Amino acid sequence: MTDRMLDRLTRRTAANSNEEPDHDDAENLGCFGWLRGVRDRSIMLELRKKDGHVLAIGYAWIERVEFAPDDGITLHLPGRTVRIAGSGLNSEARPTVRLFDGIIRHRVPWIREADRAESLQAAPNAVTIDQIAWDE
């Protein structure tokens, strides 16, 4: 290999090594994040409470997910149950984007509780999360 060709290859590698990956690919839809790419999948689901308490659970540990209009969304994990209560949990936040569908397809990287002002100002069909509760 000539020195000139070697210089070109090492220069290209050095230029590419300075690029940092974009870690915040999730679109903020208010009470939850959504991964936009068709093949994007989240490894963990981050549950954020109003008081600052955060629990991250691995999607691989979720055994099943239930939606009941009166109870909200329930995540069943080994030894733990997570309940997400609110309104519009199975309605479209925008065309083809639903929180429940996003969870079962690993497209939701985080969910957060809405504060009282957000809940009161939200549109009637908007997704709002009033409470996230889990067994200790």
Opening angle at CA 129, ends 131 and 96, nearest 5: 145
3-state SS assignment for residue 69 = coil
> What does R_g of the chain's alpha carbons equal in angstroms?
20
What is the CB-side half-sphere exposure of residue 36 using CA atoms within 13 A? 6
User: Can you tell me the distance from the alpha carbon of 18 to that of 54, in angstroms, rounded to the nearest whole number?
Assistant: 32
Specify the pTM.
0.77
Task: For residue range 94-106, list pLDDT tens digits in order.
Answer: 888 999 999 999 9
Task: For residue range 1-33, list pLDDT tens digits in order.
Answer: 566 766 666 665 444 444 433 446 789 988 999
